[in-house]
Amino acid sequence: MTKKRNVPELDRLVAGLAALAQAGHVAPCVGRPEWTSDASDDRAAAAEGCGWCPMGGPCLAAGAASRSVWGVWGGCDLSDPATRRAVQEAEL
């Protein structure tokens, strides 16, 4: 059995998205498949869609902290190894 890792950044992201929804706003990624699409063009369009989202910073921090290897997090496509490496090396 694998031990579940506690990732506080994911908890903060979930709480922030819930607060955003309670305020009547929806993050651009909610319910949209482009953020995790197999097609890099879809993910590139998704990354641009993150521009206005107030959860961009917490989202990118969550993607980096959870060591995600797929999808767009905070406007960065972590499916791309070079981008993922740069994000993980940056201090968020």
The pLDDT tens digits of the residues spanning 10-26 come to 999 999 999 999 999 99
When pLDDT is averaged across residues 76-84 and rounded to a whole number, the result is 94
Contacts of 10 (CB under 8 A, 6+ apart): 62, 65, 66
Q: Helix 8-22 vs helix 56-65: angle between axes, to the nearest 10 degrees? A: 150
In this prediction, residue 65 has a pLDDT band, given cuts at 50, 70 and 90, of very high
- CA torsion 9-51-88-10 (nearest 10°) is 10
pLDDT at site 10? 95
In this prediction, residue 1 has a pLDDT band, given cuts at 50, 70 and 90, of low
- pTM for the model stands at 0.87
When pLDDT is averaged across residues 64-74 and rounded to a whole number, the result is 94
End-to-end CA distance of the chain: 31
**Residue ranges of the domains in the chain?**
33-92
Q: What is the distance of C-alpha 44 from the center of its chain?
A: 13
